[in-house]
C-alpha cells in the first residue's frame, strides 16, 4: 500500500502532534455527553458496543467508557494508542475500553470477528485518502455494524470553512512547540492542501524546525458526505452544526452527520 501523509504525521512524527491532541483533552467530557445524546436518540443505549474510528489518544473513547459504553478504539499511530491506554488507566476504565493499532484502510480485516452497535469518528478524522479509498472505509465500516446501528461522523463543513478561510495560521502546544500552517483549497477536487511546519522554541525567539509535512485532505459539503455514505450502504438520518448539537446551516463550522444501517 502506498505510503500516505498520514503515516508521516501520525506515525513518524506522532510525538509532535501528540501535544496538540493533549491540549484538546479538557473538551472531551462535554463532547462525549453530546455523542451520548445522539446515540441514545438513535436507540444505542449505555452498555452498547462502540467503535471509535481513528480515536487518536482516546479522549472520547475513555469518556464514553466512563459513561457506560463498551468501546474499542483504533488508530494508525502507535504513539497515540500508547497514550490512549495510559489515559484509560488514569481514568480507571480499562475493563470497558480496548485500543488497537489499526490502519482505517484495513479496519474490516483487523476487526473481522467484531460487531458494533455504533461507530463514531470525531475531530475531522476522515477524508485522508483518495475518493475510492475514503468510500471503501465507509463500506468496510458498514460490515462491522449490526442492523439498526449508526455511524456518527464529525468533520469540518467546507461551506463554513470557506466563509472564514485563512491561508495561514499557527497553533501553540505548551510553551515550546508551535505549528505553522500554510493552506490552499483546491476547488476542483474539494481538497485542502496544507503544509504543517513544527517548530520548537529553544530560547526566546530562537526556533528549531522539527518537521515539515504536506497534507492533502478532502473537505466535504453535506450533500457530498451523504452521497459517499449512501454509496457505501448507509442511510442518512440527520445532521447538526457542531458537537453542541446546534442546527446545521451554511455557516456551521462542523458537519455532525448521523447515518444508519
Per-residue DSSP letters for 124-135? S----S-HHHHH
The whole-number average pLDDT for the span 129-152 is 98
Q: How does DSSP classify residue 63?
A: H
* pLDDT surpasses 80 at 243: yes
User: What are the residue boundaries of the structural domains of the chain, listed by start?
Assistant: 5-159+220-260, 160-217
What angle do helix axes 28-41 and 59-67 make, rounded to 10 degrees? 60
Q: Mean pLDDT across the chain, nearest whole number?
A: 96
Report CA-CA distances (Å) from 24 to 108, 208, 236, 240: 29, 24, 29, 21
Portion of the chain with pLDDT greater than 90, in percent: 96
* pLDDT surpasses 90 at 77: yes
Residue 152, C-alpha cell as written in the block: 456518527
* Nearest residue to 14 via CA among 260, 210, 230, 231: 210
Partners of 198 in beta bridges: 179, 211
What span, in angstroms and rounded, lies between the C-alpha atoms of 168 and 249?
25
Confidence band of 161 (pLDDT split at 50, 70, 90):
very high
Portion of the chain with pLDDT greater than 70, in percent: 99
Q: What is the pLDDT of residue 6?
A: 97
Coil/strand/helix, residue 4: coil
Q: What is the pLDDT of residue 2?
A: 63
Question: Quick check: 240 and 247 in contact, CB under 8 A?
Answer: yes
Q: What is the pLDDT of residue 35?
A: 98
Helix (H) or strand (E) holding 29: helix 28-41
Q: Domain 160-217 classified CATH 1.10.150?
A: no
* Nearest residue to 233 via CA among 122, 147, 117: 147
Domain covering 5-159+220-260 in this structure, CATH number: 3.40.50.150
* pLDDT surpasses 90 at 3: no
DSSP strand pairing (191-203 vs 206-218): antiparallel
What span, in angstroms and rounded, lies between the C-alpha atoms of 254 and 161?
9
The whole-number average pLDDT for the span 148-159 is 97
The whole-number average pLDDT for the span 18-27 is 95
Region of poorest pLDDT, from 10-14, 33-37, 100-104, 170-174: 170-174
Partners of 179 in beta bridges: 171, 198
Confidence band of 1 (pLDDT split at 50, 70, 90):
low
Residue 108, C-alpha cell as written in the block: 474490516
* pLDDT surpasses 70 at 259: yes
The whole-number average pLDDT for the span 70-78 is 98
The whole-number average pLDDT for the span 211-215 is 97
The whole-number average pLDDT for the span 196-211 is 94
Tell the residue number behind the cell numbers 439498526, with chain if given.
148
> Vertex 233, ends 232 and 236: CA angle to 5°?
100
Q: How does DSSP classify residue 220?
A: B
Q: What is the pLDDT of residue 204?
A: 87
Amino acid at each position: 500500500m502506498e505510503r500516505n501523509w498520514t503515516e508521516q504525521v501520525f506515525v513518524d512524527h506522532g510525538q509532535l502532534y501528540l501535544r496538540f491532541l493533549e491540549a484538546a483533552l479538557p473538551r472531551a467530557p462535554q463532547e462525549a455527553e453530546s455523542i451520548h445524546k445522539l446515540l441514545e436518540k438513535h436507540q444505542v443505549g449505555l452498555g452498547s458496543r462502540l467503535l471509535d474510528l481513528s480515536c487518536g489518544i482516546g479522549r472520547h473513547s475513555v469518556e464514553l467508557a466512563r459513561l457506560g459504553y463498551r468501546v474499542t478504539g483504533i488508530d494508525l499511530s502507535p504513539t497515540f494508542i500508547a497514550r490512549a491506554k495510559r489515559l484509560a488507566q488514569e481514568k480507571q476504565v480499562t475493563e470497558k475500553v480496548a485500543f488497537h493499532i489499526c490502519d482505517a484502510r484495513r479496519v474490516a480485516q483487523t476487526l473481522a470477528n467484531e460487531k458494533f452497535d455504533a461507530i463514531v469518528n470525531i475531530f475531522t478524522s476522515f477524508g485522508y485518502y483518495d475518493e475510492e479509498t475514503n468510500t471503501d472505509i465507509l463500506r468496510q465500516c458498514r460490515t462491522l455494524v449490526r442492523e439498526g446501528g449508526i455511524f456518527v461522523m464529525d468533520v469540518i463543513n467546507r461551506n463554513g470553512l470557506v466563509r472564514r478561510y485563512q491561508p495561514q495560521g499557527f497553533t501553540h502546544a505548551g510553551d515550546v512547540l508551535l505549528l505553522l500552517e500554510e493552506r490552499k483549497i483546491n476547488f476542483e477536487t474539494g481538497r485542502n492542501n496544507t503544509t504543517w511546519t513544527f517548530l520548537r522554541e529553544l530560547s526566546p525567539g530562537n526556533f528549531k524546525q522539527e518537521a515539515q509535512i504536506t497534507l492533502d485532505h478532502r473537505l466535504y459539503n453535506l450533500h457530498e458526505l451523504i452521497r459517499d455514505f449512501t454509496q457505501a450502504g448507509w442511510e442518512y438520518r440527520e445532521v447538526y452544526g457542531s458537537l453542541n448539537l446546534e442546527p446545521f446551516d451554511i455557516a456551521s463550522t462542523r458537519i455532525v452527520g448521523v447515518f444508519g444501517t
